[in-house]
Structure 1
Amino acid sequence: MASYDRLRAGGSPRPLETGDTWWYAAVAGEAAGSFSTRVRTRTRRACLGAVLLLTIVYAGLVLTATGRRWGDAAVTGRRADGTAATVLRDHPSLAGLTTLSLVLGCVLLLAVGLVRKRYALTAAATGAVVTALAVTGLLQRYAPRPRPVDTVGGLDPSGFPSIQTTLALGVALALVLVVPYRLRTLAVGAATLWAVGVGAYTIAAGQHRPGDVIAAALVALAVTSGLLALLARKGRVRPGPRRGPALPGLPVTVPLVLLTLVGLGAGFWLLGDALALPATAPYDPVELRLAHRCGQALAAGVVAAAGLILLMVLRRVDVDGAPAPYRLGGPFVEATGVPHDAELVGPFTEDRDHEIS
């Protein structure tokens, strides 16, 4: 075999048979494998980037005294923030609604996949959510972390990362596997906005610190991106139509973009003043309120950015089924003695009207 006779890039190796030539390996194999390779590269980079950011967040907000002090101030500052305190006081049913929404989100994920008869993708989406929850549980159990202090000096149970945000955003990102391609942006964007609300509630209620919500978003993004990289390696992706889900998803993507820009911008702008807290209590209520709002902005921006990143990584990528098979035909195949009805995979259709230039 000549030096330029190579197998598919990123595809499963297949021994050359009668009718296989160098142009089959170069045209059919490279054209089919190059798209999967690009998708696998993008999703793998998203996964590794999320893991790297998760490590930085853990080191900066959990292991350092300044990060722990800011997290404690953000939790205790929820009562100094009149807006958050008023909403929680006037709507005590938010706790039950949050739990109910998490249950309904899981049911919706399973129902959409089963109704569309995408059993394998539904199992993969469920596995991604379960894996994200398992990683979150392991980090909560074994990663050293402080717990927020309430106003009376007691220690409230907390966790790094937030289990509620992991579940909400995990369900939102897993929808890319089960919803139709044209509705993917609308579904994932709306579910990401819901995950932003879940994370904001856990911070306002004092259940988690902002770093817990940020870490949960990064865990969900890393697990989902890793699963998509595995599917791309298996060849379970294909190019989506150019008229994709961008236009129907504008009602949710525009708020997500604004939330990402405003949340991250305001959060980092306020972070300098929030980190300048004195080393010892008591703190000024204004400083506590500033730390709480800074944490809310950063958490909302990161959760919204996680959904946008996954949508951008999967731009014009359809994961709803395997690539369409090719058949090898044409005068070149007939010249090699291959039967007319031979089941070969190649770049040519059955009309035999092709030309290589």
Structure 2
Amino acid sequence: MDVDAFRTVHAAGWDRLRELTGRRDLDGAGADELVVLYQRTATHLSLLRSSTTDPVLVDELSTLLARARARLTGTQRASWRAPVRFATRAFPAALWRLRWWTLATTLLFLVVAVPAGVWVTADPVRQAAVFGSDETVRRLVEVEFAGYYSEYSHVSFAGRVWTNNAWVGAVCIATGITGVLPVFVMVQNAVNVGLVGGLMVASDRAELFFGLILPHGMLELTAIFVAGAAGLRVFWAWVAPGPRPRRQALASEGRAMVGVALGLVAVLFVSGVIEGFVTPSPLPTAARIGIGALAELAFLTYVAVLGRRAAAEGETGDVTDADAGDVAPVRG
């Protein structure tokens, strides 16, 4: 192919495409012409790539077509808008919608943990049956429980508990469709906390137990309760989809609850930082618990203020309609 002759023949069309691409406003005729010239130039580029090695002209047309394509399809919104929307509307709205489910998982935890603690507190024989010999119990109460929070460096320990708790939360949500596994995770954690707490109380170490659990535990357990609630919400969307088709209801709630899982990663990061740096710190017990209480209050305020407002405006935590795709009309 004679590249110079090819350029001479088609340069006017390329210049016209360049002109239309650079215009701020296009009427209907101009937009139609832009489409035709774009398609024609794309054909020219294909011919050049298959029959010539002129890199300059190929790069020139590739750049022109990229700009024309952006002009035709429009530009995406600034990337920061999506995370801002998620943090200020979608995530808090989803949390607000989960408030009664979260209360239910919280009550489930307490209904299991408190009796478990009372049960193990009442009888040393039960303590031995659960935890082992007297020496094992003594070592757990006097050394291991407190030592757990200072075994690793602050950064390493914070990272460990963060990733572990994020994994537990993700499992609760990912397996929520079963309706069973989130409950199992809640009950398992409640039993563990209740038994250890009961043992510490029975050994006159209640102050140590609550002094080490509460600073990070308030926010951490709240996040786990939310994760369990999110999983059960997905299950309920499958069981009782309402006026929507079951598949559509499950998809909508599933997308919203995946958003909850992502948001809880940030919440659990905060609780991990508190557990890694505040819980084992030499601060007075009241100060450490106060820091944990402030973090919990900030989270609850975030949900109550931003979440209630966004939910009242119709936000559900699902992705936008443009991202969700088209759905069939339903009754109701």
- How would you bin the TM-score normalised by the shorter chain? under 0.3
Under a length normalisation based on structure 1, what TM-score does the superposition of the two structures give?
Answer: 0.25
Under a length normalisation based on structure 2, what TM-score does the superposition of the two structures give?
Answer: 0.26
Highest Rg: 1 or 2? 2
Higher helix proportion (structure 1 or 2):
2
